[in-house]
Amino acid sequence: MNTEKAKIQMRKGILELCILSIIKRGDCYSSDIIEELKKAEMIVVEGTLYPLLTRLKNAGMLSYRWEESTSGPPRKYFDITPKGEEFFEELKQNWTNLTQTVDKLIKY
């Protein structure tokens, strides 16, 4: 069995929580989000991030604004909405419950 595939699936499952956590700290440009994920060793490519940001925006979890850039085209900055804040808190609580349950199971 390939553990790399299992690791990828685990990361995908918590990616929304991680992205919302980053954006919750302050509005972000997509490359800022990718950089934060890389620093945390949660490697994500743009092809994974953009559809997820669009899905969260379409669900009302994120808003965005365009800002002119001094070096290239305008940039889209994302911010979390009140609905996104609620969703983040629910995900965070679910994550806490899940990790506590898994910790109990793997310690025995």
Q: In sequence order, what are the beta bridge partners of 64?
A: 78
The per-residue b/e assignment along 10-24, b for 16 or more CB within 10 angstroms, e otherwise, is: ebeeebbbbbbbbbe
Beta sheet of 62-67, edge-to-edge order = 28-29, 75-80, 62-67
Could you read off the pLDDT of 38-55 as tens digits, one per residue? 999 887 788 889 999 999
Burial (CB < 10 A; 0-12, 13-18, 19+), residue 80, is buried
pTM of this structure: 0.87
Could you read off the pLDDT of 71-94 as tens digits, one per residue? 888 999 999 999 999 999 999 999
